[in-house]
Structure 1
Amino acid sequence: MNFPYETENSYLSGGNCLNLGVNPPNEVYFKEFLYLCLLLTTHEIICRMKSIKSHITQLLKSLNEGVFEKEHTIALSLLSAMAGESIFLLGPPGVAKSLVARRLKLAFKDADAFEYLMSRFSTPDEIFGPVSISKLKDEDTYERITKGYLPTASIVFLDEIWKAGPAIQNSLLTVINEKIYRNGQFTVRVPLKALIAASNELPAKGEGLEALYDRFLIRQFVGCIEQEYAFDQMISSTREVEPEIPAKLQVDDELYNQIQAESEKVGIHYTIFELIHNIKREIEQYNTGRDENTPPIYISDRRWKKIVGLLRTSAYLNESPGIHFSDCLLMSACLWDEVSQLPIIENIVEQSIARGINTYLLGEKRLEQKLDTLKENMKSEHSLRELSDPGIQVVDTFYHRIEGYHIAGNLLIFASDYQSLRKDSNRLFYIQQDKFRPVNKILKAYDFVKNRNIAQKNIYSLRKGKRSVFVNNQEYPLLCYDNCKPLPTQQDGSTPFEFTLQEVIDLLHQMEVEYKTIFERETAYTKEHLFLSSSQKSKIKRILGETAHIIENYRNELRIIAHAHEQENREY
């Protein structure tokens, strides 16, 4: 498998450091860019990653047997567990939230599970175990009997989580974040791999639940079955038997620890940092512009760090040594607090990914700068020919004289008006007699408001020619000096415009080649991605399509500029 590699100081990884004192290179190309890939050169590491992806693929397939439209939720729950994080499922009753937790338990070998439905009257004894009466009586020690309760479970499912009282909440905070439980005078490390919480509502405001809510890195909305085919399968199924997961597919402690250790080595290309910076800026801008009744989007520093850890785990399990832009779509499930914020977050993430590809990887800014330079050079070249052309006579300080027009006296046009004429479109003028020199008739720009009383027959259509003027589509020469010569070009035969034009052509060609590379790699990576939904995969395809459209627009703009320059050269 071929990965795009980057130099050692271009990304941050377990064994490398980002050179923060140097700006990211402007000449970033796909063959050396893509997504922040570590210099993993040993065949052994690549093969191990492949075997893990195959393992997880088969495991997810087994876990999803008999599941209807909950495959993505189960995949996110497994990713959350592999990253050592917790997930919150929001949805109405009866949408299989508890099913997700039960299936996740089957993914781990010899896993003990703890499941509990919270209520306002739930006590710590029901969650963490009862106090040992014998130890309290005989040893004067306050200690709980935790066997069979949350502190000894690998997989925990807490339904109606927000009904938990403060005593339960405080203990859950340390369990989720530090994987420890304080049992009396002892601090016990818990074997927790995954904590799944569920509710049909978000935490109430003003009840001190914000800290606990922040501990759930992934927030996933779980709804009813939408597709009729899947719905028909669900209601017609007669058996609800849990699948038997082969022992060889279950994740044991050794594999679990390996995944977490290897995920920490996944690289982060500087473009991913820029993408995250852009998301942060967009969220800050949203918070600044919201009205006072709209809740802000708050992302803690701890949360950002955990999000990057989740992306690393996703990349590793998808056998990539670096985070891809596709992985970043997973951030949409980590950044919202209110359901109303979800479409806003999804849009911010998608736009940031598109901007990352177009601006930082395709070099869009660099190409735009080159195109601007190209246009300026063409204007300068055109102005040099037109304004400084010694062949065209200036009459009475301000005018050019039009020769051959059938009118009594001299027909003049302001030199400035002549310069403003275009060769590809017409402007309207009218003729006014010079009150100081009646022999002169002056063409003046027609204004629809100021000159509305002028008869239609006295209005003329003008456009520029080669040292000439087209009046009502009939060409008339301008008065020129005898034996006038065209302006000389530069001694080497090429103008600044032509040099820049070739640079832009080369740059655009390189961009097209690189786009093809990223399209093929990203499409292949996204197609087999373990944790993206089908709609998210379609979004990546759409983003790449928009990039192709941008490139085509640049190509068309370049054709127009080149054609205009060619026409200009023919005329002179």
Structure 2
Amino acid sequence: METNLPDKLDDMINTLNARFFERDSEIEALLIAVLARQHILMIGPSGTAKSALVMELSKLIKGTDYFQWLLTRFSTPEELFGPLSLKDLEKGVYKRNTETKMPEAHLVFLDEIFKANSAILNSLLTILNERYFYNDGSPVKVPLMSVIGASNEYPEEGEGLDALFDRFLLRFEVDYIADDGNFISMMKHSGTDEPAPVMTLEELIQLQEMAERMVIQDDVYTALSKIRNELRDEGIRPSDRRFKQSLCVLKARALLQKRQSVLMEDLVILEHSLWETPDQKDAVSSIVRRHAQDAVIRMLETIQHEANEMLQKAAQDKSEEYGLEASEKMKRLKEDLNRLRAQYEDRSVEIEILLHKVNAMQQDIILSTMYGDGEAEKGPSGIFYRM
């Protein structure tokens, strides 16, 4: 990996977490969306710092053009895409002046996104999906990286906004601060200091390229297929396009974790992507999380199974030779657990618990082979050996 660039992502996360309380998941998701060049939707009541968070993010990336707008039922295309050029109009050319407007922005925040009316909807969909804006009938490539949409509520059925809703690969529900301590800290925080840029636009582009190069292991593809089938059993059918797009989100998460390949645990981000309606969220989350945790759980279960087998054999074969062999194997299992703990920091507690168990088992094996027949005594792991 290019030196220091992934560390700058940590700096951005730390800066934003210091300013916004109880927004860890949203901050991570915003960075994943930008790295993956995908769009993210934030649903929640007014006053939950949705726009402030995105604006602060844009300030941390020097050189980005940022556009923000509040949509209403009466919003016009001019507000988003720029006014018609009068000079060109005199020549019969129907061309917009897009300077400082959405077609020239890298990051865009659209508040009350579902208030978009038919007059602007088609152009908005084209920009979001194809990254083109048709000006005077000619397609113009836009520099857009991510659109962050916000709304106080989900779109209602029959409003014709299904296509717009589908353009947002990640969807998050944002609520008010829950913890009293965090609420008081938020009240005390003035938020007047301007954040210093952490990286440049060029560095962000390098990070996006790094994310694209991430390797996806075969077991991740297999898990995605299983998730797809399990979702179908629940009557949930994300499109093939959504599954395909999800790969870049998985890669971006792996980069954020400073890895060079996508692991099973990265699948967890898809609990915010694979549902179609809010009532499907819980089912999707349950299925996705089960597969995302499979990797760690499977490795821990395998290690515990091997340790149990060695301990049972040691209770029968009390030879010093086997004791040394089993102790050496236990040592390797502990090394595997230490590697897992470094790799999966968010799972360190359960890994630490098993590490203590394996330590105790190793001591039991040593005691079991040191002493032959005698009175039964309870070893450190709770297993009886003869003394």
Normalising by the residue count of structure 1, what TM-score does the alignment of the two structures yield? 0.54
Q: In the alignment, is the contact (CA less than 8 A) between 1:274 and 1:356 conserved in 2? A: no
Q: 1:81 aligns with which of 34, 43, 60?
A: 34
Structure 2 distance, partners of 1:265, 1:166, is 38
Partners in 2 of 1:162 and 1:525 — Cα distance?
A: 41
- Take 1:285 and 1:544, find their aligned partners in 2: how far apart are those partners? 33
The match for 2:286 is: 347
In the alignment, the residues of structure 2 paired with residue 174 and residue 147 of structure 1 have an alpha-carbon distance, to the nearest angstrom, of 19
Residue in structure 2 matching 1:255, options 203, 214, 239: 203
Tell me the SS of whatever aligns to 1:216. Answer: coil
Change (3 A) 1:78 1:149: same
Residue 133 of structure 1: how far off its partner (Å)? 2.2
Structure 1's 510 and 353: CA in aligned 2 closer, same or farther, altered over 3 A?
farther
Q: How does 1:204-243 map to 2 (within 5 A)?
A: 204-237=156-189, 239-243=190-194
Taking the aligned partners of 1:321 and 1:515, their CA distance within structure 2 comes to 24
Please give the residue correspondences for 1:465-480 in structure 2 after superposition, counting only pairs within 5 Å: none
CA distance in 2, matches of 1:300, 1:518: 38
Counterpart of 1:99 in structure 2: which amino acid? A
Deviation, structure 1 residue 363: 9.2
Deviations 1:247-301 (A, max 9, x none): xx2232x3222222222221111111121122112101111xxxxxxxxx33111
Q: 2:216 aligns with which of 268, 274, 281?
A: 268
1:151 corresponds to 2:103: yes
- Tell me the matched-pair count: 342
Q: Distance in 1 between matches of 2:105 and 2:343?
A: 35
Deviation at 1:182, TM superposition (A): 0.9
Farther off after superposition, 226-235 or 334-343: 334-343
The 3 A distance-change label for structure 1 pair 517 and 210 is: farther
**For residues 307 and 512 of structure 1, do their structure 2 counterparts lie closer, same or farther at Cα, with a shift above 3 Å needed?**
farther
Matching of residues 386-405 of structure 1 within 5 Å: none
Q: Is 1:318–2:257 an aligned residue pair? A: yes
User: How far, CA to CA, are the matches of 1:310 and 1:517 in structure 2?
Assistant: 31
Pairing 1:73-112 to 2, within 5 Å after superposition: 73-112=26-65
- C-alpha displacement at 1:141, in angstroms? 0.8
Q: Which residue of structure 2 lines up, in the alignment, with residue 333 of structure 1?
A: 272
Preserved CA contact (<8 Å) 2:35 2:204:
yes
Say whether residues 1:61 and 2:10 are aligned partners. no
- How far, CA to CA, are the matches of 2:330 and 2:290 in structure 1? 21
Task: Give TM-score, length-normalised by structure 2.
Answer: 0.79
Q: CA deviation at 1:305?
A: 1.5
CA distance in 2, matches of 1:275, 1:303: 15
- How far off is 1:136 after superposition? 1.3
In terms of mean alpha carbon deviation, does 181-190 or 336-345 score higher? 336-345
Offset at residue 100 of structure 1 (A): 1.4
514, 524, 537: which one aligns with 2:342: 524
Distance 2:50 2:268 in 1: 23
Which blocks of at least 5 consecutive residues in structure 2 are unaligned? 310-325, 359-387
Q: Kindly tell me: are residues 284 and 135 of structure 1, through their superposed partners in 2, closer, same or farther at Cα, counting changes over 3 Å?
A: same
| In 2, Cα distance between equivalents of 1:156 and 1:242 | 23
Distance (Å, rounded) in 2 between the aligned partners of 1:354 and 1:75: 19
Alignment of 1:4-23 (within 5 A): none
The 2-side partners of 1:282 and 1:510 are apart by 41
Question: How does 1:529-568 map onto structure 2 within 5 Å?
Answer: 537=346, 540=347
- Per-residue CA shift, 1:192-239, capped at 9, x if unaligned? 1221100011121122211211111111111100111110112233x2
Looking at structure 1, the residues matched to 353 and 264 of structure 2 have their Cα atoms a distance apart, in angstroms, of 15
User: Is the alpha carbon distance of 1:124 and 1:330 closer, same or farther for their aligned partners in structure 2, counting shifts above 3 Å?
Assistant: same
Question: 1:113 corresponds to which letter in structure 2?
Answer: Y
2:194 maps to amino acid:
P
Equivalent residues of 2:80, 2:101 under 8 A apart: yes
Q: CA RMSD in A?
A: 3.2
| Helix, strand or coil at the partner of 1:64 | helix
Cα pair distance change 1:193/1:235, threshold 3 Å: same
Classify the secondary structure of the residue corresponding to 1:202.
Answer: coil
CA distance in 2, matches of 1:120, 1:241: 33
Q: Do 1:332 and 1:349's aligned partners in 2 also have CA atoms closer than 8 Å?
A: yes
Q: Is the 8 A contact 2:42 2:174 kept in 1?
A: yes
Q: Answer whether contact 2:56 2:195 (CA < 8 A) is retained.
A: no
1:280 & 1:306 partners in 2: Cα distance?
Answer: 14
Mark the CA change 1:519 to 1:211 in structure 2 (over 3 Å): closer, same or farther.
farther
Q: 1:245 aligns with which of 196, 199, 202?
A: 196
Match of 2:323 in 1: none
Deviation, 1:356, is 4.6
Give the aligned residue type for 1:343. Answer: D
Q: Which residue of 1 aligns with 2:119?
A: 167
- Compare CA radii of gyration and give the structure with the larger one: 1
CA contact (8 A) 1:113 1:156 kept: yes
What percentage of residue pairs aligned between the two structures are identical?
A: 31
5+ residue gaps in structure 1?
Answer: 1-44, 288-296, 372-507, 528-536, 552-572
| Contact 2:43–2:154 (CA under 8 A) maintained in structure 1 | yes
Choose 155-164 or 102-111, whichever is displaced more: 102-111
> What is the identity, as a one-letter code, of the residue corresponding to 1:156?
V
Question: Which of the numbers 224, 229, 234 marks the counterpart of 1:286?
Answer: 234
1:177 is the counterpart of 2:129: yes
Once the two structures are TM-superposed, the CA of residue 513 in structure 1 deviates from its matched residue by 7.4
Selected match of 2:75 from 109, 118, 122:
122
- For the residues of structure 2 that align with 1:326 and 1:82, how far apart are their CA atoms? 18
Distance in 1, matches of 2:94 and 2:340, equals: 56
Secondary structure, counterpart of 2:96 in structure 1: coil
Distance 2:248 2:71 in 1: 30
Deviation at 1:335, TM superposition (A): 1.7
Which of 143, 164, 180 aligns to 1:191? It is 143
The Cα of 1:120 is off from its aligned counterpart by 0.9
Deviation at 1:69, TM superposition (A): 1.6
Q: Report if aligned partners of 1:62, 1:243 keep a CA contact under 8 Å in 2.
A: no
Aligned to 1:568: none
1:72 aligns with 2:25: yes
Cα 1:329/1:520, change in 2 over 3 Å: farther
1:68 maps to amino acid: F
Residues 146/328 of structure 1: CA separation in 2 closer, same or farther (3 Å cut): same
